[in-house]
Amino acid sequence: MAEEIVNRVAKSPLITFDLEEFFPEGQRLRLDMSQWLEQGFILREKEFRLALKSFDFTPYKNAYVALECSTDALLPAWASLLVTAHLQPFAKKVVLGSLVELEQQLFSELIAQLDTSKFKDKPIIIKGCSEKNIPAAAFVSLIQKLQPHAKSLFYGEACSSVPLYKK
What confidence score (pLDDT) does residue 6 get? 67
What confidence score (pLDDT) does residue 102 get? 96
What confidence score (pLDDT) does residue 8 get? 61
What pLDDT digit, counting tens, does each position of 91-111 carry? 999 999 999 999 999 999 999
10 band by pLDDT with thresholds 50, 70 and 90: low
44 band by pLDDT with thresholds 50, 70 and 90: very high
Distance CA 45, CA 103 (A): 31
Q: How far is CA 33 from CA 65, 69, 93, 97, 125, in A?
A: 12, 5, 17, 11, 41
Between 99 and 5, the higher pLDDT residue: 99
Inform me whether the pLDDT recorded for 137 exceeds 90. Answer: yes
- pTM: predicted TM-score of the whole model, two decimal places: 0.83
What pLDDT digit, counting tens, does each position of 50-94 carry? 999 999 999 999 999 999 999 999 999 999 999 999 999 999 999
Q: Are 157 and 128 in contact (CB under 8 A)?
A: yes
Percent of the chain past pLDDT 90, that is, above it, reads 80
Inform me whether the pLDDT recorded for 1 exceeds 60. Answer: no
Q: Are 129 and 101 in contact (CB under 8 A)?
A: no
141 band by pLDDT with thresholds 50, 70 and 90: very high
